[in-house]
Structure 1
Amino acid sequence: MVTNEILPAWKAIASFAYTDAKVTQDNAIAVGNRLLGVPENQASLWTTYEFQIGSLKGLGFGLGLFYVDTREGDVDNSFELPDYLRTYAAIYYRKDSFNAAINFRNIFDTDYFSSTSGYTLGLERGAPFTIIGSISWEF
């Protein structure tokens, strides 16, 4: 994971994971099979910009990408779950102890499987496009 302040008020967080999850010894699962539900590659990027001066001070925007590679759908490796890319965005405002935000999840309504129970009827679809608003005061 890499975190950086690109310019004052502009921040970014990037991450990448490579996971070589294969069975090396087992009595029930074939040696060499990939573990179910574990992507080989996974990456994310989140960037925000928040105004620091003037009448827009405290107003911020964010954009994020989240990628998950193909994954095995069962322990026999008989089917794969497809890869997917989700996009997120946010608009927020902060002033003193007041915070308000609107978050947009899965902006392009990507159809994806978030998990598997190890068989085709046990596939769980991921959340569709969602808007979440929040307001908070910190004491």
Structure 2
Amino acid sequence: MDQKDGVVFDASTGINKQRQLDLNSRGVELEANASLDNGFSFIASYTYLRVKIERGAEGTDGKELSATPNHILSLWGHYQFENGTLEGLGLGTGVRVAGSSYGDDTNTFRNSARAFVDASLSYDFGYRNPKLEGVKLQVNAKNLFDNQKTICSAGYCYRDEGRSLFASLRYRF
């Protein structure tokens, strides 16, 4: 994919400002999904992506765009209790891995690879009471272990997003 006049941050002059660049990206994305009869389901995905600066600030032409890892991997597993005392309870966990990337657009230093663990807990009320079919309570934890490494983009550094918890009660009809 080629993008003309893509808006990115440029810090090459010592001032962080938006700049328009010509970018070229090449890659592939693969995903596998399986739902088994015993309540288990799995999702695995892999992305290879290379984003190259075709026209940019001085010293960046032909370099990779900062904070854009070449490799991203995600694995997720979920189990839904379908019988017994825990019927309706769902448990899920997964890992997201982002490979190393450059910390600036001149590619002079690298950000380290990072991994994040996510989890979910859900309860489907329809398993116990058919009148409540479609009602589901869910709690998700993103970055469960609060991994907050430093990552740099266009020469400016910040910390990864910390642990986040989200809860939802939904009704599907």
Question: 1:103 maps to which residue?
Answer: 140
Alignment deviations for residues 92-129 of structure 1 (CA, whole Å, 9 cap, x no partner)? 0112121111212211111135673x122xx3422212
- 66-75 vs 124-133, which deviates more? 124-133
Residue 9 of structure 1 deviates from its aligned partner by 1.0
Corresponding pairs, count = 135
Counterpart code for 2:55: D
What CA distance in whole angstroms lies between the structure 2 residues aligned with 1:17 and 1:113?
22
Call closer, same or farther: CA 1:115–1:50 in 2, change over 3 Å.
farther
Structure (1 or 2) with the greater strand fraction: 2
**Which aligned segments of 4 or more residues in structure 1 are displaced greater than 4 angstroms?**
none
Cα pair 2:121 2:140 within 8 Å, conserved: yes
Correspondence 1:1-139 to 2 at 5 A: 1-23=31-53, 25-26=54-55, 28=57, 29-94=59-124, 95=126, 96-113=133-150, 116=153, 118-120=154-156, 123-139=157-173
Q: Share of identical aligned residues, percent?
A: 25
What CA distance in whole angstroms lies between the structure 2 residues aligned with 1:113 and 1:99?
36
CA RMSD for the aligned pairs? 2.1
Cα pair 2:103 2:151 within 8 Å, conserved: no
Gaps of 5+ in 2: 1-30, 127-132
Residue 80 of structure 1 deviates from its aligned partner by 1.7
Cα pair 2:139 2:165 within 8 Å, conserved: yes
What CA distance in whole angstroms lies between the structure 2 residues aligned with 1:48 and 1:83?
25
Residue 10 of structure 1 deviates from its aligned partner by 0.3
TM-score for the superposition, normalised by structure 2: 0.68
What CA distance in whole angstroms lies between the structure 2 residues aligned with 1:41 and 1:113?
18
Gaps of 5+ in 1: none
Call closer, same or farther: CA 1:58–1:114 in 2, change over 3 Å.
farther
What CA distance in whole angstroms lies between the structure 2 residues aligned with 1:127 and 1:36?
18
TM-score for the superposition, normalised by structure 1: 0.83
